[in-house]
Amino acid sequence: MKAYEKLLLENKAWAKEKTEDDPGYFERLSHIQTPEFLWIGCSDSRVPANEITNTQPGEIFVHRNVANLVIHTDVNLLSVLEYAVAHLKIKHVIVCGHYGCGGVKAAMTNHDFKQVLNMWLRNIKDVYRLHRSELDDINDETKRFNRLVELNVVEQVQHLAKTSIIQRAWQNEQRPHLHGWVYDLKDGIINPVFEMTAGTHIDPLYEYDDL
Ligand code: CO
């Protein structure tokens, strides 16, 4: 059997088991989608949103990319954000990074990963530059790497707060709350590192005054 065929086979077994446990399961899920959370995580296969939070289909709206970046020109991310905030009315946006992130690690090197990866990783190099003095003071390489993972998450949460999508929702509906989390591959634990409640003031340069 080919590897991908096993996936299809496992899927059939999973669907059968779900239906046996709860005959109305798929029928119910097909009619409603009211997740409370938007998850912006890393594409890394070891950090599956539902599994590590023990949540079910229907509970978390998910967007994943390399190193969980929030880039203000990324139409994909912004479409997900707009849909989740304005239409699904989600209450919490979680940016979840993870220690050992290959994207963050790559950005700490001077290696040419070729376009377009160089373009993508540039955003993480910019985070490093913003926190250069703190990071350069950390002698231990793993600790410096871990700290950049955390700072990257903080930065991405702040990027969310700079969007008119979030600012409009904050002004009109006092939601969503923004969270920056870091997952540890070594023990499976998520550490909250940053939070912005609805209405938090940010650098005035980025605040819209005519939403
Ligand atoms: Co990663």
Quick: pLDDT tens for 146-155.
999 999 999 9
Predicted pLDDT at 155: 98
192 CA distance to ligand 1 middle (Å): 17
Catalytic (active site) residue 31: no
Any bridge partners for residue 179, and if so which? 94, 195
- CA gap 29, 31 in Å, rounded: 5
Segment 182-189 mean pLDDT: 98
Percent of the chain exceeding pLDDT 70 equals 100
Q: How far is CA 187 from the centre of its chain?
A: 19
Predicted pLDDT at 1: 86
What pTM was computed for the model?
A: 0.95
Quick: pLDDT tens for 84-127.
999 999 999 999 999 999 999 999 999 999 999 999 999 999 99
176 CA distance to ligand 1 middle (Å): 24
Predicted pLDDT at 13: 97
Give the active site residue among 63, 98, 159, 179: 98
Which residues, at least 6 apart from 123, have a Cβ–Cβ distance to it below 8 Å? Answer: 69, 71
Secondary structure letter of residue 183 according to DSSP: E
Predicted pLDDT at 33: 80
Segment 37-50 mean pLDDT: 97
Neighbours of ion ligand 1 (CB under 5 A): 42, 44, 101
Domains parsed from the chain with CATH numbers = 34-100+153-206 (3.40.1050.10)
Give the active site residue among 44, 63, 159, 179: 44
104 CA distance to ligand 1 middle (Å): 7
Catalytic (active site) residue 92: no
Q: Where residue 31 falls among pLDDT bands split at 50, 70, 90?
A: confident
